[in-house]
Each structure stands twice: as C-alpha cells, then as structure tokens.
Amino acid sequence: MKRIIACMLAVVTMLSLLCGCENEKDEKTDGKLNVIATIFPPYDFTRQIAGDEVNLSMLLKPGMESHHFEPSPKDIINIRNCDLFIYVGGESDEWVKTILESNDKKPRKIIALMDCVDTVEEAVTEGMTGEEETDGDEKEYDEHVWTSPKNAITITKKIAQALDELDPGHKKLFDENTRQYAVQLTQLDQQFRETVDQSERKLLIIGDRFPFRYLTDEYGLGYYAAFPGCSSETEPSASTISFLIQKVKEKKVPVVFKIEFSNGKVASTVAEPTGAKVLELHSCHNVDADSMQNGVTYLSLMQQNLRNIKEALS
C-alpha cells in the first residue's frame, strides 16, 4: 500500500509538470488507431485481433516486474492521447485513476480488464505467508483475471467491440480475427478441462506468489502457495516452508511450481527435501525481451503451463 501511495504522489507531481505541454504528445499520423495496453495479455489479445492495422504498444517493458511499474512523463502523455487504453483495473493500477481524473484529455475508449469479468477477493489461504493487515484495509480483488482462458475469450471480445466502434472500416477484419482466436482459446480451455478431468490428483503446490486463482477456480484445482498473488513479500515464514514440504510429501506431489521472473529459491527449498521437480507456471503478466523478440504469445505460454500442470497432476 505504501508503494501505491508513493506512486500516486509521483504521478500527481508529473501531471503538474505536464500541464500545458500537450504540444509534446507522441501521436502517430498514419491514420491507424493508437492502442496502449499496460501488460502483456491485453497487448497480445489486441495483436491477435488487429494485427498491423493499429499502432499497438505495451507500457510495461519486457522483463519488468509489473508490481513495481511507475509511468514516465512520456507514458502519461501517450496514454492521454491514445485512442484505446487497456489496463487491469486493480489496486496496483491506482496510478491510472490519478491520470484519468486529473485532466479533461483522455483516451477515446478505456477498458479495465477487471470490469470485463466476474472477480474474486484475493485470499490468504492455509499455509500462506500473508502481508500484515491494518485497520480500515479495503477488500482486495485478485487482479489476474486473464489466467482463465474463458476469461481471456470474454476480454478479447470486449477489446474487439471497442476496436469495431473506433474503426468501423476494419470491423469485418477485426471480427473474423476475433472469431478465429476465440476458437483457439476455446480449444485451450477444453484441453485444460480434459487434462484435469482425466487426472486423479487435483492439487498444485506453488512455492511462490499465487496469481492463478481464476485458473484453479475454472478447472476445480486445489492449491497451496507461499504468498498471495500480489504480495510484496519475498521471504516466507518457516511455518510456510514446513507446511508446503509436508503437503508435498503427504500428497506425493511430483512438481513444485515457481512463477516467471522468480529466482525460484522458495520452490527449490520446498522441492529439495521431497524429491519433487521445480517447473515454471507462467502468469503471462509480462515476458522477457528474448521471448517478445521470438514472438511468444498468450496461447504459447498457456500451452506450456498446460504441459507442466499435466506433469504435476500425473
């Protein structure tokens, strides 16, 4: 929470410096829509829908941890002057509200991913090392809505609808691309469902943060994890480590997961005394520069997740 407040104060300061500087805006003049997505999933969904027919950019640089992001003055100018701005909409995006409420100049359309689907409260479940709560803390909702392929379909269709309204001339193309992409996402959803249904084990162990609530809820998977999804903690308690080791041994779980950009220390600490293997479960929040250069997609990341989950449930 302190980091969020500090970020908002920094944004307010930048906005005050930017007032009257609209002549510096970074608009492209090729007639294409300018679309900005804060993180990788909506960036890739938009890429699948629109291809080269829009000027698409991702605010979060490849390899950057999303929970530590702070917008630059140029980012703020570009957001205020774009045609479509897509962001998550959770507590880590409080800086967005500051930008959008500070000036009359706003994107033509704005999509918050958390407004597209039903959300659930972030939970500190059995065994987790949770952050200290303070009196008056508001409910926090899990932000990682895209980890469910079914949610990804809904979000993609919302983005397509916005693009149709902004650029009716390309509506037929956008709609056909969306239809084809929805078929692929539906196939992914069915593959996850079949994998879980055919497995006797229904439990995942994550020795890391847990940004997979929508994924596990969708397919009826149980889980134990070291931290909640948006936790800023990096060192689990001794009781958390002990609890996870006990569960791996008790349930004979063959895989302990770490998430992307993690050093994997917690997962390795849990796996080593149990003989389990450490594999990655990718939340798709962001990708590294090499992956971006090599054309990684939400679908390819989720297919890898499916293979690793299949091994964990074997």
Domain ranges of the chain: 2-17+29-121+144-187, 200-312
Q: Walk along the chain (314 residues) and give the pLDDT tens digit of each residue.
A: 444 444 444 444 444 444 444 444 445 568 999 999 999 999 999 999 999 999 999 999 999 987 778 899 999 999 999 999 999 998 888 899 888 887 678 999 999 999 999 999 988 999 999 866 544 567 889 999 999 999 999 999 999 999 999 999 999 999 999 999 999 999 999 999 999 999 999 999 999 999 999 999 999 999 999 998 877 777 899 999 999 999 999 999 999 999 999 999 999 999 999 999 999 999 999 999 999 999 999 999 999 999 999 999 99
* Fold annotation for 2-17+29-121+144-187: Rossmann fold (3.40.50)
Q: Is 200-312 in the same CATH topology as 2-17+29-121+144-187?
A: yes
As a whole number of angstroms, the distance between CA 80 and CA 64 comes to 22
pTM as predicted: 0.90
What confidence score (pLDDT) does residue 282 get? 98
As a whole number of angstroms, the distance between CA 267 and CA 278 comes to 7
Beta carbons of 197 and 215 less than 8 angstroms apart = no
Number of helices followed by number of strands (H, E) in the chain: 11, 8
Architecture of domain 200-312: 3-Layer(aba) Sandwich (3.40)
As a whole number of angstroms, the distance between CA 178 and CA 306 comes to 23
What confidence score (pLDDT) does residue 133 get? 57
The token pair at 307 is: 């293979």
